[in-house]
Amino acid sequence: TLKAELKITDGNIASHISALEKLEYINVKKQFIGKKPNTTYTITAKGRKAFTLHIHALEKLIKYLSSLRSRTMARRLPPLNALKAFETAARHLSFTKAAEEMFVTQAAISHQIKALEDHLGLKLFMRKNRSLLLTEEGQSYFLDIKEIFLQLHEATEKLLARGAKGSLTVSLQPSFAIQWLVPRLNQFSEQHPDIDVRIKAVDQDEGSLTDDVDVAIYYGRGNWRNLHADKLHTEYLLPVCSPLLLNGSKPLKEPTDLRFHNLLHDGSRRAWKAWFTTQGFKNFNVNQGPIFSHSSMVLQAAIHGQGVALAHNVLARPDISSGRLIVPFNHVLISKDSYY
């Protein structure tokens, strides 16, 4: 164990053990177990006292070295006031304008700059024809310092803004955020100007109602464990398409014309299968057409005339109202799921 921990040889170990024995810090007892030699070491009362004193001395040494390192690190960083004076003077290239901005005298700015130059051991400014210029080192230092002070300013403004206003974080699916919630934010902000709304668009996950989320909008049947859920509206699915499909080579006039057009699927093909079944339409190939992961993608594909989508009534309403989408026939599918 000693060899492994102290990384020393057998000879060194023997000399250390001998020294400790002479100091009466340990007792060494050698005996044979059968033919095998065995040595045991026990610490004496004097040894225990020496051990305790040794540990205390080590702790004091470690504490001293730590404080020395902290003081050394502190000495490396220039005073903040001197840095601010330098940044302001470098930005204006004028001690006078820097003094006006910081509400101090020109002499105070000169003193801060001199202290900073002494601290760094570098000249940061030079005068030429009564003009104040940055040295090469000063220019390089200013470019870095400027960004740091800008970040400090932005962080402070952000903090003060958060303190002055309340916030409400809403977690919901991206498509519902784009099609339903975002268009309504202006009205909410007008009614509640003291609240900042933060939108957290995520694919639905019952774990999304985390500590940083105040309210979530889920799609389902409202029976989530340990959650209070309010139904937003009754959900139904209806066929939608671009007006272009009404006048194409195979115009979409009635449901039977769907056999000539792509079916656009939202997540899976189940909705279109259920729609055809409830409407009593048979012999339609539902296993064709692209499948999209988000409802907003399905609506965009329909707007661009890529096929017919079976859309959520609430999500499609803005595009229907604007004329980008039309409802070719009034055959709807009442959904068992809704937004809560």
Residuewise pLDDT in 10s, the chain (340 residues): 666 665 567 777 777 788 888 888 888 888 777 777 788 888 888 888 878 777 776 677 677 666 655 555 555 788 889 999 999 999 999 999 999 988 889 999 999 999 999 988 899 999 888 889 999 999 999 998 888 888 888 887 777 666 556 788 888 888 888 888 888 889 998 998 888 888 888 776 655 567 778 888 888 888 888 888 899 888 888 999 999 898 878 888 888 888 899 999 998 899 889 888 888 888 888 899 999 988 889 999 999 999 999 988 888 999 999 999 989 988 888 888 888 9
Pairing of strands 215-216, 166-172: parallel
- What's the CA gap between 117 and 109, in Å, rounded? 12
Angle between helices 95-102 and 106-120 (to 10 degrees): 110
Cα distances (angstroms) measured from residue 42 to each of 11, 29, 36: 20, 8, 20
Q: Which of 337, 332, 265, 319 is nearest to 294 (CA)?
A: 265
- Give the pLDDT score at 48: 84
Q: Report yes or no on 225 lying in a domain.
A: no
* CATH classification at residue 279: 3.40.190.10
Residues 172, 131 share a domain: no
Q: How many domains does the chain have?
A: 4
- Give the pLDDT score at 128: 85
Q: Report yes or no on 228 lying in a domain.
A: no
Q: Report yes or no on 188 lying in a domain.
A: yes
Q: Report yes or no on 290 lying in a domain.
A: yes
Q: Report yes or no on 224 lying in a domain.
A: no
- Exposed/middle/buried for residue 124 (C-beta within 10 Å: 0-12, 13-18, 19+): buried
Label residues 165-177 b or e (16+ Cβ within 10 Å = b): eeeebbbbbbbbb
- What's the CA gap between 331 and 120, in Å, rounded? 79
Token pair, residue 118, equals 């002494």
- The domain boundary, picked from 163, 188, 208, lies at 163
- Give the pLDDT score at 178: 86
251: left (phi over 0), alpha (psi -120 to 50) or beta: beta
* CATH classification at residue 31: 1.10.10.10
**Full residue range of the structural domain in which residue 274 is found:** 236-339
What is the pTM (predicted TM-score) of this model? 0.48
Q: Report yes or no on 24 lying in a domain.
A: yes
Q: Which of 237, 257, 256, 239 is nearest to 247 (CA)?
A: 257
Residues 177, 138 share a domain: no
Residues 273, 324 share a domain: yes
- Give the pLDDT score at 67: 65
How big is the chain, counted in residues?
340
Q: Report yes or no on 227 lying in a domain.
A: no
Residues 159, 171 share a domain: no
- The domain boundary, picked from 45, 75, 105, lies at 75
Token pair, residue 309, equals 């989508």
- What's the CA gap between 145 and 249, in Å, rounded? 66
Residues 266, 206 share a domain: no
Residues 281, 243 share a domain: yes
Q: Report yes or no on 183 lying in a domain.
A: yes
